[in-house]
Structure 1
Amino acid sequence: MKLIDTHSHMYSSDFEEDIDEVISSCRKVDIEKILLPNIDSESIPKMNKLVQRFPDLCVPMMGLHPTSVKENYQEELAICKKWLDKASFCAVGEIGIDLYWDKSLLREQQIVFETQINWALEKELPVVIHARDSFAEIFEILEIYRNKNLKGVFHSFTGNIDQANHAIELGFLLGINGIVTFKNAGLDKTLSSIALDKLMLETDSPYLAPVPKRGKRNESSYLLHVANKLSEIYQVGLERVAEVTSTNAEKLFNI
């Protein structure tokens, strides 16, 4: 069996004390790749360091996270673009729009999102989209790029069935993490109408630990709990879930 965590912040300071043990736990449960989304200029050195330590396991992305879009966004974009031009990355991410914390910089977030979409098209890379309280705003931008070979994933998908179908119609996959195991999230009901082959697995560690680890620091090895939940939802074996979602990840990210 082969599992791929398509979204993990394992370079976070949360793992400074025990990263070797955490990585060992990943290998024991057949995690073969861990994809690392970037946040901003401050996260780049930490992400690169983890990739250098575990090059067979960790694969980096490059992008500017919407919650890091501030007045200096042009400077941050320039740093991301410089890295994107000189090194190898599996995706442009994590990018998108986040209106949960702050709506005052919506226009700036839209500019940054579109800029990075254009980078992805130029580099022929997928995008990893962060959408929080912003599906309408994100779809408005994505419609501009319909039929332009833009591809990617809606990371940590929590939308409804209409939003899921809209994303899939635009050629995107859905990233499913520990939220699917939360009793009142309702994501399991949404997924019951979505084909398994439209999904990928992720943890978003150290955030959103799945049941039975909820409330604790999340780790990539906990991806197994997400896979088990999908096995239950789709009534297929765990190996089938691993096969389908890992194949999707390998094709999308060219890994």
Structure 2
Amino acid sequence: MIDTHAHIDVKDFDGIRDEILARAEEANIEKIIIPAIEPKTFDNLINVASSSDRLCYGIGIHPHNSNEINGEAIKLVEKIINEQNPVAVGEIGLDYYYDFSPPDVQKRLFRQQIKLAKKYNLPVIVHNRDAFDDLFSILEDEQDGSLSGVLHCFSGNAEQLEKAVDLGFNVSFTGNITFKKTNLAETVSEAPLNRILLETDSPWMAPVPHRGKKNEPAYLKFIAEKIAEIKKISIDEVITMTTQNAKKLFKILVVTLFIFFNTFALIAQTAKTDEDEFKDIFSDEVESYNPYEKSLGFGGFLGTNTIVQSIEETRGIRDVSYEGIIFYGGMVNFFPWEFVSIQLGYVYSKNKKIVEKSKNLLGPNIHQVIELGTQWYVNPNSRLNFFGTLGPSIIFNKFGEGTDKERENSSFAINTGIGFNLNIPFTGVGLLTVSAEWRLSFDMTVSNTFGVIFNPNDPNDVKFVEQRVTSFFSLPRIVLAFYPFNRQ
């Protein structure tokens, strides 16, 4: 899960911030985004955000502080965008509930910060209270296709929700949807799942059963549970889609690689037969001799595929995800230079989950991928290498296999990834590598397939509809490769 709005830099968390982050980690919170409030707290915000890899931040000026702002403050926001690494411009917006700043002053500052967001291709985190008309008027004026963002702590009705979605915005819900007297159930029910984000707005707005207490990111699951209850779907589906939505909006790539160093080190030690092979990588000898130099190798891999299909609909794009799909394949790897390899790979993946989702009316989807990639190594002389991958792919798709709705096509994709491999030399035989890589494949072609629409009031009323889809593949893999021709 990703908490897209938590003010954990405020004084309420001083002295307990480490405990808060530890509980968030235990609750499987991948990332926490801290929105800014006012210039005098920017330094503290950035210091807090830099204290943990789980933290990101937005930079901007809250409407409550609009009356105190001059041109220098806007220059400071832009300076931080240029020199630091914020994931958004925010928290910005309009607040007519409190009379802290005149509406005209708030609107001027809101527009200035929106223009900064568009200039630097950043999403906006928007605060709104009792100002929907002026807010939508400004967003409509500024929306030229380059503006994206989220309306945080969304409290509008179904009509206002539709307007936000039509403007290309996401909405986020917080603990108030769990309150007994909330009027947001209809809004949550109507909100497209591919436009929903989760947030706590910590330290405020704690959800039931913690209402009245200090809020914290670990309570995010209660908001996800409430959304699942209202929409009558599983909490896993809510968590998966809202996490993907947040990563897409804020351009967050959370990569977790489980490295079994002790096991690999033990294997490497048993294979050690020549002390010269394991010279310190910082010694002079290593500069002239690479004990892990490779030439031509081959191998196989296994992993689990997460497929996200973006389906074109009249109201926009709807994302559907399928997780935990086993894939396997093989590859040939050639090193023209020690720091670059050219890899040709084949991937086979069969998505049977669509059969269950369509109640056996559609067949499985088969995806076969031919990957051509270059891998770039930052430390080729080390026993443990880190690398990045980039290259094109061709995907051969068979949708609805074995039914009268079967469709076949091929598409072009871009694949990219990062990973590491452990080199285990066997003198006189070759070199074994054990690798872990997170490979992503972005389908660049629209495919035509069929979907199923069920009438909730009549289970026998079923319609097949043609759909236009693009696919995204997340392909984390474990790779075993052998290089019998390495030059030792």
Q: Matched residue of 2:37: which SS?
A: coil
Counterpart check, 1:252 vs 2:270: no
Return the structure number with greater strand share: 2
> Deviation at 1:85?
1.9
The 8 Å contact of residues 60 and 77 in structure 2, kept in 1 or not, is answered as yes
Letter in structure 1 aligned against 2:48: L
> Deviation at 1:235?
1.5
Letter in structure 2 aligned against 1:30: N
Letter in structure 1 aligned against 2:36: N
Letter in structure 1 aligned against 2:129: R
Letter in structure 1 aligned against 2:91: E
Match for 1:9 among 7, 10, 25? 7
> Deviation at 1:20?
1.1
Deviation readout 1:216-235 (Å, 9 max, x if unpaired): 11001110110111111111
In 1, Cα distance between equivalents of 2:27 and 2:158: 31
The 8 Å contact of residues 58 and 87 in structure 2, kept in 1 or not, is answered as yes
**Which range is displaced more, 94-103 or 69-78?**
69-78
Counterpart check, 1:209 vs 2:206: yes
Q: Matched residue of 1:70: which SS?
A: helix
Q: What's the C-alpha RMSD, in Å, of the aligned pairs?
A: 1.2
Match for 1:189 among 186, 189, 194? 186
The 8 Å contact of residues 64 and 93 in structure 1, kept in 2 or not, is answered as yes
Quickly say closer, same or farther: Cα 1:10–1:103, change in 2 above 3 A. closer
- 1:107 is aligned to 104
Quickly say closer, same or farther: Cα 1:63–1:104, change in 2 above 3 A. closer
Deviation readout 1:116-171 (Å, 9 max, x if unpaired): 11101100111110001111111111111233321100000001111111000000
Letter in structure 1 aligned against 2:7: H
Letter in structure 2 aligned against 1:32: E
Match for 1:65 among 39, 62, 65? 62
In 1, Cα distance between equivalents of 2:186 and 2:214: 26
Return the structure number with greater helix share: 1
Quickly say closer, same or farther: Cα 1:230–1:207, change in 2 above 3 A. same
- 2:151 is aligned to 154
> Deviation at 1:240?
0.9
The 8 Å contact of residues 172 and 198 in structure 2, kept in 1 or not, is answered as yes
Deviation readout 1:50-85 (Å, 9 max, x if unpaired): 11211x100011111111111433332222222122
In the superposition, the TM-score normalised over structure 1's length comes to 0.96
Q: Which has the larger radius of gyration?
A: 2
Q: Matched residue of 2:30: which SS?
A: strand
In 2, Cα distance between equivalents of 1:158 and 1:72: 27
- 1:25 is aligned to 23
Letter in structure 1 aligned against 2:190: S
Q: Matched residue of 1:125: which SS?
A: coil
- 1:94 is aligned to 91
Letter in structure 2 aligned against 1:149: S
> Deviation at 1:178?
0.4
In 1, Cα distance between equivalents of 2:233 and 2:69: 48
In 1, Cα distance between equivalents of 2:155 and 2:198: 13
Q: Matched residue of 2:25: which SS?
A: helix
- 1:47 is aligned to 45
Q: Matched residue of 1:94: which SS?
A: strand
**Which range is displaced more, 183-192 or 112-121?**
183-192
Q: Structure 1 unaligned segments of length 5 or more: list them.
A: none
Deviation readout 1:184-240 (Å, 9 max, x if unpaired): 121112221222222000010001000111111100111011011111111122111
In the superposition, the TM-score normalised over structure 2's length comes to 0.51
- 1:198 is aligned to 195
Quickly say closer, same or farther: Cα 1:72–1:193, change in 2 above 3 A. closer
Q: What is the total number of aligned residue pairs between the two structures?
A: 252
In 1, Cα distance between equivalents of 2:83 and 2:20: 30
Q: Matched residue of 2:59: which SS?
A: coil
The 8 Å contact of residues 63 and 101 in structure 2, kept in 1 or not, is answered as no
The 8 Å contact of residues 7 and 37 in structure 1, kept in 2 or not, is answered as yes
- 1:179 is aligned to 176
The 8 Å contact of residues 67 and 98 in structure 1, kept in 2 or not, is answered as yes
> Could you say which structure has the greater relative contact order, defined with CA pairs below 8 angstroms and 6 or more residues apart?
1
Letter in structure 2 aligned against 1:57: R
Q: Matched residue of 2:172: which SS?
A: strand
In 2, Cα distance between equivalents of 1:148 and 1:198: 17
**Which range is displaced more, 108-117 or 187-196?**
187-196
